[in-house]
């Protein structure tokens, strides 16, 4: 009985955590013609302007790859931030890919953002005075006779509005051999603070999706 209850609680918590996840997958695409299980040396690129954010992002991805025994390299170790900007970025990446014997490149970039304004209306909560007394099972329900005390008991809150900010991100996986896109995911992350705070949860969601596709040699 207790075990069943525990399972139910865990299930409820799981559902709640999924429902509250800041990152929601919007679209996933996979090249069905691509023969999976081949890729084994991955260059991770986070197209982020801030160096700390880029390092944190790329290293977090690398941890997931290493955990699965796949070789992965953070781009910040081999390519400076300015090398990822401008028209020469592709050439700089291609050169490093060749040098390091990379078989796949995983690129993440911010593709947009949006703001949603939500208004929470004011509320007045009215409670009956007799209610707490009547709920004492051990005391019997004598209180449910209905003690009625006059006077206000109405906690009120004012209406207010708040903004939800969302960041749209796209992660793409390229096969170096063919230079073609083999997998892509578009997601939206709700920001509850600084965008950098969402790095770990974002990588967790995307890595889970990515490794389910069995594209890498394991």
Tell me if 86 contacts other proteins by CB under 8 A. no
Choose the binding region for other proteins from 24-32, 97-105, 193-201, 203-211 (rule: CB under 8 A): 193-201
- Binding of other proteins by 144 (CB under 8 A): no
Query: For the window 94-133, what string marks contact with other proteins as x by the rule CB under 8 A?
Result: -----------------------------------x----
Burial class (CB in 10 A: 0-12, 13-18, 19+), 204: middle
Q: Between residues 58 and 175, which has the closer beta carbon with respect to other proteins?
A: 58
Question: Tokens at residue 42, please?
Answer: 């991955």
Size of the site for other proteins (CB under 8 A): 26
- State the angle between helix axes of 199-212 and 51-67 in degrees (0 to 180), rounded to the nearest 10: 40
Residue 56 binds to other proteins (criterion: CB under 8 A): yes
- One of 80, 101, 146, 155 touching other proteins (CB under 8 A): 155
Distance CA 211, CA 200 (A): 16
Task: Please report which helix (H) or strand (E) contains residue 45, including its range.
Answer: strand 41-47
Confirm if 189 and 169 have CB atoms less than 8 A apart: yes
Q: How far apart are CA 75 and CA 97, in angstroms?
A: 10
Can you give the binding site for other proteins, defined by CB under 8 A? Answer: 50-53, 55-56, 59, 77, 129, 149-160, 193-194, 196-197, 199
């Amino acid at each position: 009985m207790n075990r069943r209850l525990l399972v139910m609680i865990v299930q409820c918590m799981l559902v709640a955590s999924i429902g509250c996840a800041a990152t929601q997958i919007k679209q996933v695409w996979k090249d069905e013609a691509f023969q999976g299980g081949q890729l084994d040396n991955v260059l991770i690129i986070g197209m982020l302007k801030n160096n700390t954010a880029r390092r944190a992002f790329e290293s977090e991805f690398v941890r997931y790859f290493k955990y699965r025994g796949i070789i992965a390299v953070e781009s910040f170790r081999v390519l400076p931030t300015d090398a990822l900007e401008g028209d020469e970025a592709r050439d700089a990446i291609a050169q490093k890919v060749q040098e390091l014997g990379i078989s796949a490149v995983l690129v993440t970039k911010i593709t947009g953002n949006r703001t949603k304004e939500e208004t929470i209306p004011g509320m007045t909560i009215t409670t009956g005075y007799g209610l707490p007394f009547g709920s004492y099972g051990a005391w019997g329900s004598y209180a449910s006779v209905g003690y009625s005390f006059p006077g206000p008991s109405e906690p009120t809150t004012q209406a207010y509005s708040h903004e939800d900010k969302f960041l749209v991100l796209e992660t793409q996986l390229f096969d170096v051999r063919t230079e073609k896109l083999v997998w892509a995911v578009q997601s939206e992350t709700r920001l509850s603070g600084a965008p950098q705070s969402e790095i770990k949860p974002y990588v967790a969601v995307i890595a889970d999706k990515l490794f389910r596709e069995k594209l890498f040699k394991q």
